[in-house]
A = this chain, B = another copy of it.
């Protein structure tokens, strides 16, 4: 148990979740390194949700609410850190959830599927190999997608995605939304809407935004999306690292 008085308490609780997930065997071998990078960026951000992150979240939620078939892509790290928060958000915005792993193995897919079931969500996509199609006909693990999920989605939310995959997705014409603490990463740079925040804070915040925006006029949502400039917003996000 980490004492609540420890100067790095919140961060250590998340670190423990990742270490636990590693032991349970559903993380890729370099997943902990990715988490460490996230820790460092969050640290430099002050571990707070910034204004540019909030603005991106409003545009993201509006986009998802106006989509026909929005899909949230989850991997081991997102699951370890925020499984309940992801399910809650998916239910609120009526989005599907699809497993997409950087190093896909049947064992890891099964373990993650079981976890979602245990947490009350049993419709997860991307679990069966015969359901897999390839985006842009690229026969590459990084281009795989579930037929009724990401393959046919108009909007995909891909938290904690790697750069290769994000680049492929950005070329499909789908609206891509990411949550990534590094504003300079290829994932942030190639997405349509890049939320520079910790998934643990972002999902609950987006759920609250969704509850609000669902009661608003559709035109307000459209304006929100049109007014959003991802490049400009990323620059603002980056400045917050600089001014620490």
Residues of A participating in the B interface, judged by any CB pair closer than 8 Å = 7, 15, 18-19, 22-23, 29-30, 32-41, 43-44, 182, 184, 186, 241-244
Contacts and interface: CB of A to CB of B under 8 A. Distances in A.
A181 to B, nearest CB: 8
A237 to B, nearest CB: 13
A142 to B, nearest CB: 14
A222 to B, nearest CB: 36
18 contacts: A15-B33, A19-B33, A22-B29, A23-B29, A32-B36, A35-B36, A36-B38, A36-B40, A37-B37, A37-B39, A37-B43, A38-B40, A39-B40, A43-B182, A44-B44, A44-B241, A241-B242, A242-B243
A18 B241 CA distance: 27
A129 B140 CA distance: 51
Contacts of A32: 30, 32-33, 36
Contact of A19 (B30, B35, B182, B186): B30
- Work out how many copies of this chain go into the complex: 2
Nearest to A22: B29
Nearest to A23: B29
A6 to B, nearest CB: 10
Contact of A37 (B29, B30, B36, B184): B36
A29 B36 contact: no
Contact of A36 (B36, B184, B241): B36
Given A37-B37, A43-B184, 13 more contacts: A15-B30, A19-B29, A19-B30, A22-B29, A33-B35, A33-B39, A39-B40, A40-B182, A44-B44, A44-B241, A241-B241, A242-B243, A242-B244
Contact of A41 (B7, B23, B40): B40
A213 B196 CA distance: 46
A39 B3 CA distance: 27
A106 to B, nearest CB: 21
Nearest to A18: B33
A33 B36 contact: yes
A32 to B, nearest CB: 4
A12 to B, nearest CB: 9
Nearest 5 A/B pairs, CB to CB: A36-B36, A40-B40, A32-B32, A33-B36, A37-B40
